[in-house]
Amino acid sequence: MSRRDPINPTDPEAIALAKTLLNETRFGALAVTHPDTGRPYVARVALLWDRDALITLVSTLSTHTQALIANDECAVLVGEAGEKGDPLTHPRMTITATAMQADKVACKDDWLGAIPKAKLYYDFTDFMMFRLLPDQIDLNGGFGKAYRLAPCDLS
CATH number of the domain where residue 122 is located: 2.30.110.10
Number of domains in the chain: 1
Pairing of strands 7-8, 146-149: parallel
- Which residues, 6+ apart, have CB-to-CB distance to 42 below 8 Å? 29, 30, 31, 32
**Cα separation, 97 vs 150, whole angstroms:** 11
pTM value > 0.85? yes
Does some domain include residue 18? yes
Q: Which domain holds residue 56?
A: 7-154
pLDDT in tens, the chain (155 residues): 567 788 989 999 999 999 999 999 999 999 999 999 999 999 999 999 999 999 999 999 999 999 999 999 999 999 987 778 777 778 999 999 999 999 999 999 999 999 999 999 999 999 999 999 999 999 999 888 999 999 999 98
Does some domain include residue 2? no
Does some domain include residue 1? no
Does some domain include residue 76? yes
